[in-house]
Amino acid sequence: MSTSRVVLNFLLFQLGWFACVLGAANQLPWLAFVVVLCLVGIQLAFVPNPIKELQLILIVCVIGAIFDQLVLNHGVVRYQANGWSPALVPIWIIGLWIAFASTLNASLRWLHDRRLIATIFGVIGGPLAYMAAEKLGAVTMTITPSSHIVLAIGWGVLTPLMVHLSKKFDGYAHV
């Protein structure tokens, strides 16, 4: 995969992440979701096998939404600007999972076949993303420091799982 494609994927993910988090912080969760769909749509237009990549995105999105629903249900975090019922994981979180999934075979491809590094990446990166979102006003960690521990464990399990799935649903294979 070309360096420019990897860099573009990384930059579009960052743009999507900020759109979701700042959208939630400013009570614009649906606008953030639409922005992510557009950004991922742009990426899918250049993927050799967009159906496989879309399958990965949908699978990761479901897994991620279930995880975030669990942390919401157990009071680990509280989200701003749900976009629908406060009892359900917000639409902008679903957008974040879609954006994250779009990186697994592109800018995070280097994690393929590196299970331990993927685990460490999840243990550190997952909670850091929530902490950054909290600083920007989109999330509240309700039981700190326990929230960080729960998120670290969850992301430590989910990241290698999702990297494994990305190898099975690789829309960039044979590029």
Q: What is the pLDDT of residues 52-108, one digit of tens each?
A: 999 999 999 999 999 999 999 999 999 999 888 889 999 999 999 999 999 999 999
Task: Judge whether 173 lies within some domain.
Answer: no
Task: Judge whether 104 lies within some domain.
Answer: yes
Task: Judge whether 174 lies within some domain.
Answer: no
Task: Judge whether 63 lies within some domain.
Answer: yes
Tally of domains in the chain: 1
Task: Judge whether 175 lies within some domain.
Answer: no
Exposure string over 129-145, b if 16+ CB within 10 A, otherwise e: bbbebbeeebbebeeee
Q: What is the pLDDT of residues 102-135, one digit of tens each?
A: 999 999 999 999 999 999 999 999 999 999 999 9
- Confidence at 146, pLDDT banded by 50, 70, 90: very high
Task: Judge whether 96 lies within some domain.
Answer: yes
Range of the domain at 54: 3-168
Task: Judge whether 16 lies within some domain.
Answer: yes
Task: Give the whole-angstrom CA distance, residue 127 versus residue 149.
Answer: 8
Task: Judge whether 36 lies within some domain.
Answer: yes
Tally of CB atoms within 10 A around 48: 12
